[in-house]
Amino acid sequence: MIALRSAAGRRKAAGAIVLIAVGLLMPLVVGTGAYHLVQLEYIASMLMIAIGLDIVTGFAGQLSLGPGAVFAISGYAVVIFANHFPTVASLPLLCLIGVLVAIVTGLVAGMPSLRVGGFYLAMTTLFLALLVPSVAQDLSFDGADQGVSLISNIDFNQSPDGMTLYVTTIIVVALVGLSAWALLYSKLGHRFLTLRTSEDLAASLGINAYRTKLLAFVISSVPAGLAAAFYVFTQQFFTPDSAPTDLSIYLVAGCVIGGFGTVAGPIIGAALVLGLEEFLGSLNEYQGIIFGVALIAVISTIPDGLVATPLWRKGLDLVTRKGRKREGPEMSTAADDLYSLRGLVHTPTALSAPATNGTRPPAGPADGPPLVVKGAGRSFGGVVAVDDVDLTVRRGTIHALIGPNGSGKTTTLNLISGFYRLDRGCVELGGKRIDGHGAALVAKHGIGRTFQTPKLLTDKDVAYNVIVAADSTTRTTAFESVFRLPRGRKASKQARKTALECLAEVGLADVADEVAGKMSHGVQRLIEVARVMAIKPSFYLLDEPAAGLSQYEVEIMKSVVRLIAASGAGILLVEHNLPLVLDLADEITVLHRGQRIAHGDPDEVASNEEVARVYLGREVAAVGEAGGVA
């Protein structure tokens, strides 16, 4: 897989070079006259907005249809300043003003908008895009319908201008794209992608979903502010028509066509859409139909966008002169079969024996403070899901929570981990209450959990899925990570090292570079366990980790759970596999209809008549006859 990773890196570098070269050479294609340069500068300015849109939607998964609103407000601020203070209105100063106004706008617009999500967020941001130009038409200080023009302002000096200004614009677009790429592969980018995958997953890793969404929204506003400054400086005016409602829609369409979340994709897609809009000529009145048909065709045939096509990869391979034939035997495999190499995907050979050489760092002293649940209760409408449940999870032990379907097991886990609020009772750690503050804060108190259905970044490799958790244990700021400062680079290396160690401990060292979504169900469950290991919690909440596993995979899981407990961590295990529970657990709590009906060691619980009646039945008898219980 080293060759594959190297080829991917060369493709990214080649893609960047190709895009910059195309941008610089475009005047030779469409013309070097002032009019054509202005057209190209307009497109380049819009590409900055597309990059910002990709950050909030492609990276962080927040569907925003309002980048035009940030662009419009920043544009008016820049053009009004330039018109009132033309002698000092240099391009760098206008960029600074545009960025500052964009950040403030992003904060003001994002704080209420991001309280909702999905379709509602899209509608809220689209309303902002509709509102700004409509309001601007009725205000006198911004020129109303006529807007503000710098062309007639004799004191305004456009310097640089001509080809120098165009080259400057392309360089800034390239720098914005490079910054987005650096963000994507940083600690902050990992948080964005985790949030895009699942807010529950993000919270379980200690990531505050709302703050992270707001940060993505604000960061995505910065390119829009730059775009406003370059638009005003190159076009020398700003009117309500400069930020029409359909601008945001066309930019979203361009990002979808190119490929959201890929950096290069939105640049390519937005350039195609806006280029056609500028140069359609007599067909301009049909642009809505043309773009609509193109968008439907792309979604139907290549939903991941143009940059996900083999043609794009092969083209970049030609540019690097490192085609597949020179990559060795693995690279001769068809793209769709790359993740089936060596039989790692669908067979248990993906698993090796977990490391048992003591590499698991201590989770704390085995006699450390326990996790205590007192009188926990939660109702949903008229249904009592959990009713006055008490349990204690001690360090270095495995405490199983069992019961029939609907008995309240997963609800109890959600109450402990902060995904649900308690109606009554409390959850304490070291004598301090940790309930009522949300899942992200509970995770920071040293509570890690898995889910009934694995939550993974399915398009990323196995190691990446654990690195996003290991990031939380490193000491570095988002700025240091994004811009690869020394401490940021050190933290990145440490996170990867931690991730690989955790994967080795669950027997997945050999598949670290394989795509997680292509792994078997059993492997995916072990990836989740490794991910929890990476945050180094004091307590693990494992929600049916053996569900759907083969017997071979169950044995691996048992070894992993024992390894975790031996490190000094406490484990609360929800599981339907009774032989596994009776073999592993030090203590067992049994729930029925939300109430605790039994508690004790495996022998005590297995011999409890009430437990046998409501849940265990003949299965215990069978296990007992086989020598599993007394």
Domain carrying residue 102? 31-304
Choose the final residue of a domain: 304, 334, 363: 304
- Which pLDDT value is given to residue 548? 86
Evaluate whether residue 4 is within a structural domain.
Answer: no
The residue among 153, 165, 176, 150 whose CA lies nearest residue 75 is 150
Answer yes or no: do 280 and 383 share one domain. Answer: no
Is residue 576 a contact partner of residue 547, using CB atoms and an 8 Å limit? yes
pLDDT band at 227 (very low <50, low <70, confident <90, very high): very high
Range scoring the smallest mean pLDDT among 30-44, 279-293, 380-394, 610-624: 610-624
Pairing mode, strands 570-574 and 587-592? unpaired
Residue 61 tokens read as: 């998964």
C-alpha 422/C-alpha 399 separation (Å) is 21
- Which pLDDT value is given to residue 341? 29
Residue pLDDT, tens place only, 44-53: 999 999 999 9
- The average pLDDT across 461-483 equals 92
Evaluate whether residue 347 is within a structural domain.
Answer: no
Looking up residue 578, the CATH number of its domain turns out to be 3.40.50.300
pLDDT band at 616 (very low <50, low <70, confident <90, very high): low
Whether residue 433 is predicted with pLDDT greater than 70 in this model: the reply is yes
- C-alpha angle 229/171/233, rounded to 5°? 25
- Which pLDDT value is given to residue 70? 93
Please list, residue by residue across 57-73, b when 16 or more beta carbons sit within 10 angstroms of its beta carbon and e when fewer do.
Answer: bbbbbbbbbbbbbbbbb
Evaluate whether residue 153 is within a structural domain.
Answer: yes
Answer yes or no: do 283 and 413 share one domain. Answer: no
Residue pLDDT, tens place only, 480-505: 999 989 999 999 999 999 999 999 99
Is residue 191 a contact partner of residue 55, using CB atoms and an 8 Å limit? no
Whether residue 82 is predicted with pLDDT greater than 80 in this model: the reply is yes
Choose the final residue of a domain: 288, 304, 320: 304
Evaluate whether residue 156 is within a structural domain.
Answer: yes
pLDDT band at 346 (very low <50, low <70, confident <90, very high): very low
Whether residue 159 is predicted with pLDDT greater than 60 in this model: the reply is yes
Residue pLDDT, tens place only, 196-220: 999 999 999 999 999 999 999 999 9
Q: For the chain, what is the domain count?
A: 2
Q: Where are the alpha helices (DSSP H) in 185-286?
A: 187-197, 199-204, 209-235, 245-258, 264-279
Whether residue 322 is predicted with pLDDT greater than 90 in this model: the reply is no
pLDDT band at 321 (very low <50, low <70, confident <90, very high): low
pLDDT band at 117 (very low <50, low <70, confident <90, very high): confident
- pTM attached to this predicted model: 0.86
Answer yes or no: do 227 and 137 share one domain. Answer: yes
Evaluate whether residue 487 is within a structural domain.
Answer: yes
Evaluate whether residue 15 is within a structural domain.
Answer: no
Choose the final residue of a domain: 254, 283, 304: 304
Answer yes or no: do 253 and 399 share one domain. Answer: no
Whether residue 335 is predicted with pLDDT greater than 70 in this model: the reply is no
Range scoring the smallest mean pLDDT among 293-302, 360-369, 406-415: 360-369
Answer yes or no: do 67 and 174 share one domain. Answer: yes
Residue 479 tokens read as: 């700025």
- Which pLDDT value is given to residue 362? 55
Whether residue 357 is predicted with pLDDT greater than 50 in this model: the reply is no
Q: 3-class SS at 400?
A: strand
Residues, the chain: 630
pLDDT band at 451 (very low <50, low <70, confident <90, very high): very high
Place of tokens 């638009």: 231
Range scoring the smallest mean pLDDT among 11-25, 60-74, 253-267: 11-25
Evaluate whether residue 212 is within a structural domain.
Answer: yes
The residue among 242, 241, 294 whose CA lies nearest residue 269 is 294
Looking up residue 182, the CATH number of its domain turns out to be 1.10.3470
C-alpha 260/C-alpha 375 separation (Å) is 47
Please write down the HEC assignment for all residues of 147-168.
Answer: CEECCCCCCCCCCCCHHHHHHH
Residue 197 tokens read as: 């995958």
- C-alpha angle 326/332/335, rounded to 5°? 120
- Which pLDDT value is given to residue 275? 86
pLDDT band at 367 (very low <50, low <70, confident <90, very high): low
Percent of the chain with pLDDT over 70: 87
Residue pLDDT, tens place only, 182-193: 999 999 999 999
- The average pLDDT across 214-241 equals 95
pLDDT mean across residues, the chain? 85
- The average pLDDT across 275-284 equals 71
Range scoring the smallest mean pLDDT among 92-106, 356-370, 395-409, 598-612: 356-370
- Which pLDDT value is given to residue 8? 66
Percent of the chain with pLDDT over 90: 59
Q: 3-class SS at 398?
A: strand
Of these ranges, 10-19, 143-152, 279-288, 302-311, the one predicted with the greatest mean pLDDT is: 143-152
Whether residue 364 is predicted with pLDDT greater than 60 in this model: the reply is no
Evaluate whether residue 350 is within a structural domain.
Answer: no
**How many CB atoms neighbour CB 525 within 10 A?**
28
Residue 121 buriedness (CB in 10 A; 0-12 / 13-18 / 19+)? buried
